Chains A and B, each alone.
Chain A
């Protein structure tokens, strides 16, 4: 039974020890605010595990379980099936997992849950590397970004999670950014009102791992959207709807310059990245016209 030592405002207790400038806190608060108290959380180890609590102290006012790094979608599937069997069709099961736990080691269980169209909401906050363990590269780390395991810059592009999700034909999927919390809340609300396997992929810049002043997280996230390094979109009933067109599509210079992780990228890498961002956006535009 949960007893309050500190009465939290909303569902998250104050004083969570995430890094200064990290927006996961804002993601958790907004997601749980939209979802309401009739929600069960599944959180794998990683930065988000700050919200599982430590020892006898919980950090959130909803129930949850910390699973393993690769099985969040499977544990959530089990919970959803357990509730369904007992006639509970109201409690929402929500995963909040990082990019490593989603696109790397957790992709198999997520794929299974999407294929079975489990009644869960899967939220991936993407800080584009294994930040909790000290900034190691993941398959979500973008081309040319330096991490402790890609010190010379990553030689290949990131996995395209939203395309992988869409290939499973889930009822609802979306990308969101911490640069637009209103849009993020709207998408979580839409997911809440949809049945089946719903996936939301949120870009969440990391001051510690990306190398920028902690006050600039929103600015960095906004620049990612402006150059097409992060594309806001929704996927509903098989149709893609793109957000506002990036003002500076294919020109990541300003975005790169804000962060230390791209400092090894020369003109050639920047041009290559720019071309890739343009090509990907135009491809998505064509899909959106179908």
Chain B
């Protein structure tokens, strides 16, 4: 185990290198570009023995990945934002054909308007595509979760592709110290890729993904559903093995000072550290504050969430995407569904859109509103917690009359 310095993209590349992919298909997009570049460097320098396919789009990147992995090799690709949106169609093919591809996704807002910066609108739009999703809180977790994702996705009871989601710039371009297993120890953990289920081999003929009649389609979807059920169990097993081997605890959900909490926030991704910092501050002031971080979003760990939050009076769920038209943002929708049998009051918060910082001030404001409800001073909370008061006048168009 060595301590190395990586930014988030570097940690993703290091994890991919340790997993020894045979084919890499990459297309650059901000803020993922340095993953595509550094993978090319690793191949050119002989540190990864792989075919590097310099594809002409993300749609083709995922198509190459699916085709290559079906021949029996581990593949690597990565993307962000509209690149993921362009991949969407083929992400469904990977999931439905049970091709367990592991893909870091650097979270960036979807257009329009154009933004280069972080929110979760890209991966949340893929939440029902049939991929596992893990959201990283820091750079160390990008390495840890990517290595674990290979074991989980490729497990014979799971056979489901996985996205490792890392916040654009907040993590992708943030240099942090990372405890890194040495090559042999990592390889002993990740293990060589073994093809299972469907594959392309002229000595064992099958035709993959032909037209599926209604008579069988539900059953194949049910198989995917069971794969997700199993993934919840396998994730915990793999996390436990990872801790035993490398000494670091990973979480499907992480409870922070929740035991006696009256008010709590539910967070996802890189905002979580700031949330914990504010919890500590509030605790010093005598406020019984807590935090629940969701790391594994697909499969959604509903029972664990309900158990962790069952004694909290007022809960605020912070979504880093707008969830337009929905009753709540995507994370809050899940938390509310998970906690529907409890007496907690749950409020959805939406902010941090397109790189707007979710600061300690943001969390103090959210906790303030939750405390107001808990102590009877208020009935509700303001959902868009960081929107400017002049929102409706931004780029206002004058209508001639």
List A residues at the B interface (Cβ < 8 Å).
1-2, 37-42, 49, 52-56, 58-68, 70-71, 74-79, 81-86, 88, 91, 108-109, 111-112, 115-116
Contact = CB atoms under 8 A, between A and B. Distances in A.
Interface string B9-53: 000000000000011010000000000000000000000001101
Contacts of A53: 207, 210-211
Contacts of A109: 56-57, 59-60, 63
A65 B208 contact: yes
Contact of A82 (B70, B97, B202, B207): B70
19 contacts: A49-B211, A52-B210, A54-B210, A58-B207, A63-B205, A65-B67, A67-B67, A68-B63, A71-B60, A74-B55, A75-B63, A77-B67, A78-B64, A78-B70, A82-B23, A86-B22, A88-B71, A108-B57, A109-B63
Given A63-B207, A65-B67, A66-B208, A81 B202 contact: no
Contacts of B59: 70-71, 74, 109
Given A65-B97, A82-B67, 9 more contacts: A37-B202, A40-B202, A63-B201, A65-B67, A68-B93, A77-B60, A77-B67, A108-B56, A109-B57
A82 B206 contact: no
Contact of B68 (A63, A67, A81): A81
B162 interface: no
A2 B207 CA distance: 9
Residue picked from B63, B204, B211, B215, most chain A C-beta under 10 Å:
B63
Contacts of A68: 63, 89-90, 93
A61 B57 CA distance: 32
Contacts of A38: 202
Contacts of A67: 63, 66-67, 93, 209
Contacts of B93: 67-68
Nearest to A36: B202
A65 to B, nearest CB: 4
A75 to B, nearest CB: 4
A112 B65 CA distance: 15
B23 A85 contact: yes
Contact of B200 (A37, A54, A65): A65
Nearest to B217: A55
Interface residues of B, number: 43
Interface string B74-94: 010000000000000110010
B210 A78 contact: no
A43 B204 CA distance: 19
Q: Which 6 A-B pairs have the closest CB atoms?
A: A78-B67, A82-B71, A112-B56, A74-B63, A78-B64, A74-B60
A84 to B, nearest CB: 6
A265 to B, nearest CB: 36
Given A78-B53, A116-B54, A63 B71 contact: no
A39 B202 CA distance: 7
Contact of B65 (A39, A66, A78): A78
Contacts of A77: 53, 55, 60, 63-64, 67
B303 to A, nearest CB: 36
A85 to B, nearest CB: 4
Given A71-B63, A82-B73, A58 B68 contact: no
Contact of B71 (A39, A79, A116): A79
A82 B69 contact: yes
Nearest to A58: B207
A83 B89 CA distance: 24
